[in-house]
Amino acid sequence: MVQAPNIRPRIFDADDPALTVGSDRLGVLIVDDDDAVTRFLGDALAGMGCEISLAHDFDQAIRQMHVGIDMVVTDLRMPGRDGMDLVRALRGSHDRAPLHVVMITACKDEETIGLATEAGVDDFLFKPVDPVKLMLVLSRTRRSVRLHRMLQRRNTMLTRTHERMRTLLCELRDDLDAAAGMHRRLLPREEQLPGLRMTHVYRPATMLGGDTIGAVTVGEGRTLFFLLDVQGHGVRASLASFHYHRRLQQMAPADADALSLAMQRLNREILAEKEEIYATAIAGIVDVPAGEGWIIRAGHPEPLVMQTGGGAADETRRLDTAAAFPLGWFSQAEFRATRFPFAAGTRLVIYSDGLLDCCDAAGVPDAQSLAARIDTCRDRPIAAIGALVERLLAHRDGDMPLADDVSLLAIEPDCASGALHDRTDS
């Protein structure tokens, strides 16, 4: 059996040379104008496992400083610039490096010690140098250098891990962007729907949503339209809604019976997935030349209908439709289509419940309030409905993310279209 490849990207690289434990070797620079002192200290420290460099004055010492130096042992009194100057120069240029600085002096007065400490001296050795104290100083240095090296390794590891995570996040975001783009390309386009005018709003709560809107021509003058809202949101809901959208398009039902069968089939297909996922849906067919349509509502809010140019009695209202369970709940569920008039001047508006939450009255989703708002667009072009909902969302969320995906589709017969005129003439 072929093992699935491990595609989880590697964030931590155990072979990274920056993370390997370094040696305990200490590089020591001894700075003293007295050869006897440098020889004594050099021999003693070399005997304790140190790698020794020597300098006799300030300038030599600065030239000898390189990456491998972990500890500087300097005399205080030297001709020219003295040990104090050297310590200040080292701390000035190597402040971030793990450098342990030891000063050798015969002078024990408080002022000198204070100044040296302020300049950055870590330890003092008093002349004549006691070998035991030298060993203690070296041991402290080792501990300090070891700690510094460990911190450096961890910092390097964190920096690299952070960079890798950032790269992975960018890749992930690009992937999600690409998927969201594919989902968005499923949205209906008016120029592909002869005989209809439409507007839609599609606003996923996260980068990828579980809502999907579709409209496609399924025959002479007939258009299949639907709005599905898959439970939840994010990648899982989005993948499911993309798939269900495609299935409905493939089945392309062109009359009421075919629409019922398509919904039944999709219902059973969702149940067969054993994913414990479901979708609420509205799907319908409009026949523009015949001036009628059929609609199936599966666990979804009722559609709204409005009459353009009508009187006060024609205000936007909920369309009375047979109700069915959401898709994916019960295998025996039935999906009966309700016929409705779709003559010139009729607009049908379908939407996901995420939009109702934006029109709630005291925390209660309110379809009546949504109908009243949409009614203000009655005598304006259909695009005004989409614009109104966009304004509603902008007014509501501000910088706050939406709690649920929001989508809406409004359609009306295009009276100027040839499809309508053909039937009128015949």
Partner 1 sequence: MTDTAIIHVAHARLDAAAAPDFRAMLDTKVGPECTRVLLDLSAVEFMDSTGLGVLVWLVKHVGDRGAIAIAGTRPAVATLFRLTQFDTLLPICGSEEEARDALSL
Tell me: cis bond preceding 5? Omega within 30 of 0 counts: no
Beta bridge partners of residue 74, listed in sequence order: 31, 103
For tokens 């960018």, the residue is 170
- Tell me the Ramachandran region of residue 280: left when phi exceeds 0, alpha when psi lies from -120 to 50, beta otherwise: beta
Residues that bind partner 1 (CB under 8 A): 229, 231-232, 276-278, 280, 299-301, 323-326, 329, 353, 356, 360, 363-365, 403-404
Mark 176-188 as b/e (b = at least 16 C-beta within 10 Å).
beebbeebeeeeb
CA atoms within 13 A on the CB side of 155: 7
Of 380, 353, 378, the closest CA to residue 367 belongs to 353
Q: What is d(CA 401, CA 235) in angstroms, rounded to the nearest whole number?
A: 17
Q: What share of the chain is helix, strand, coil (3-state, %, to 5)?
A: 40, 25, 35
Say if residues 388 and 334 touch (Cβ distance below 8 Å).
no
Residue 335 phi, psi dihedral angles, 5° rounding: -130, 95
